[in-house]
Amino acid sequence: MPVAKLPTFAPDLIALFEKRGTSRIDTPVIQPAAPFLDMAGEDLRRRIFLTESDTGASLCLRPEFTIPVCLQHIESATGTPKRYAYLGQVFRQRREGANEFYQAGIEDLGDRDVASADARAISDAFASLKLALPGRKFTATLGDQSVFEAVVKALGLPTGWQKRLIHAFGNAMQIEMLLGELAEPQPAQPLAADIEAMLASGSLDALAAHVEETMHATGYLTNASRTPREIANRLAEKRALAATRLDPRALDVLEEFLSLDLPFADAAAALAGFADAAGLKLDGALSRFDARAAALANAGVDFSAITYRAAFGRPLDYYTGLVFEIAEAGKPAVLAGGGRYDRMLTLLGATDHIPAVGFSLWLDRIEATKGEAA
């Protein structure tokens, strides 16, 4: 594995981060693998370099900084709000370019003014790129998972379908496949006649007892990761999901929302118009979107450089709201990306709810861009 080189502009980035009121943080290169496998998303999970400790614990080379920074914050019992800045190496397999490369960024933890914190993340990401690549123009693509969640919930889909769609947010192929299933449900694979009868009658207690008896008989129970009741509930949920058919009008509404792709300056009005025309109550999500837009304007961010895409997400499972990526205008390489991840610190063990937002810079891509003609 070739050794990554620290870009020449790295000291300037560190100085910029300090001016932004951050504390420099470093995290171990060797990390526990479980948090990444549980929360990072399928794309990153496939790229992780895994290993084991002497005791057999699953470890990995640090594939990104957000999770390690959050874990270290929890372990240190540091209060919030707190802004952390990092710059160091990360490791990913099967990557275009080097498998070992430098990332830098800021994680903003605990600021209850969500709109201002979101705007600060986008503004700081733009400022970092302008520092590293002076004279270049940049464009950002912005999405909002919380608006998508609000639309899905307002359509009245069963909870299981809401979870499936939200989990697929940002993955266009998977969303298209799920919408196809909702439009034309396929019959579920038949199970044993006695199990089908219990599912049809709603006898989950009897089904759980049957599952437990089968697990004992096969010797599987001692190694099971789920209880018989959880398995019975999951079978019932899968049957209900397979039978769900989305009303054609509701399907049209969802597809119309996902097709929204327009200048950010027009996004708030377009979302409000969409909600009114569809008869959906999205007031909370839209007011948060409006508040973020106002905060971005106050931060001096150029709206003309931002496109809003309703279907846009990033390939990490922990995002909950804002997501964004920034590239040089007219070029495909993503140079910075980030978003909001309000549930993650609680899932990692924090005792209190800690809202969080952040962004990362791909320093090797930025360095490569420096050598290209502007």
The token pair at 92 is: 């990913």
Give the domain-ending residue among 243, 272, 306.
243
Tell me how far apart the alpha carbons of residues 320 and 339 are, in angstroms, rounded to a whole number. Answer: 8
Range of the structural domain that residue 54 is part of: 10-150+261-370
Structure tokens at 75: 């372990």
* Same domain assignment for residues 120 and 16: yes
When divided into structural domains, the chain yields a total of 2
Pair 273, 233 in one domain: no
Which of 243, 278, 312 is where one domain is finished?
Answer: 243
Query: Are 219 and 275 part of one and the same domain?
Result: no
One domain for residues 290 and 233: no
Q: State the angle between helix axes of 114-132 and 363-370 in degrees (0 to 180), rounded to the nearest 10.
A: 40
Write down the pTM of the prediction. Answer: 0.84
Same domain, 137 and 197: no
Q: How confident is the model at residue 236 (pLDDT cuts 50, 70, 90)?
A: low
Q: Residue 237's pLDDT is what?
A: 62
Angle CA 27–30–34, to nearest 5: 100
Residue with more model confidence, 314 or 247: 314
Tell me the chain's radius of gyration from C-alpha atoms: 23
Residues 228 and 274 in one domain: no
161 found inside a domain: no
DSSP 309: E
Instruction: With respect to residue 165, please indicate whether it lies within any of the assigned structural domains.
Output: no
Distance of CA 181 to the CA centre of its chain: 23
333-368 pLDDT, tens digit per residue, is 999 999 999 999 999 999 999 999 999 999 999 999
65 domain-assigned = yes
| 3-class secondary structure, 25 | coil
* CA–CA distance, 333 with 133 (Å, rounded to integer): 14
The reply to whether 19 and 145 lie within a common domain is yes
Q: Which is it for strands 82-91 and 23-24: parallel, antiparallel or unpaired?
A: parallel
Q: Residue 43 belongs to a domain with what CATH number?
A: 3.30.930.10
List all residues 6 or more positions away from 43 whose beta carbon is below 8 Å from its beta carbon: 315, 316
Q: What angle do CA 232, 238, 240 make, to 5 degrees?
A: 105
Same-domain check for residues 106 and 220: no
Mean pLDDT of 92-111: 90
Three-state SS for 374? Answer: coil
Count other Cβ atoms within 10 Å, centred on residue 283. Answer: 11
- Region 231-254: mean pLDDT is 73
> Which of 15-24, 252-261, 313-322, 349-358 is predicted least confidently?
313-322
Q: Cβ atoms within 10 A of the Cβ of 298, count?
A: 12
Of 168, 160, 161, the closest CA to residue 258 belongs to: 168
Domain closes at, from 216, 243, 270: 243
Evaluate whether residue 170 is within a structural domain.
no
Write out the two tokens for 109. Answer: 């933890």
Residue 73 maps to a domain: yes
Say yes or no to pLDDT of 374 above 60: no
Return the number of other C-beta atoms located less than 10 Å from residue 124's C-beta: 25
DSSP 362: E
pLDDT at 224 over 60: no
Q: Are residues 321 and 213 in the same domain?
A: no
- The answer to whether residue 144 sits within a structural domain is yes
pLDDT above 60 for 2: no
pLDDT digits (tens, 9 = 90+) for 245-287: 677 888 899 999 999 999 999 999 999 999 999 999 998 999 9
Backbone conformation region of residue 194, classed left if phi is above 0, alpha if psi is from -120 to 50, else beta: alpha
354 lies in some domain: yes
Tell me what pLDDT residue 156 has: 86
Q: Is pLDDT at 239 greater than 70 in this prediction?
A: no
Share of the chain above pLDDT 70, in %: 90
Same domain, 335 and 296: yes
Residue 318 lies in a domain: yes
Q: How far does CA 253 lie from the centroid of its chain? A: 24
170/143 Cα distance (integer angstroms): 9
Owner of token pair 């910029």: 16
Residues 236 and 277 in one domain: no
| Residue 221 sits in the same domain as residue 356 | no
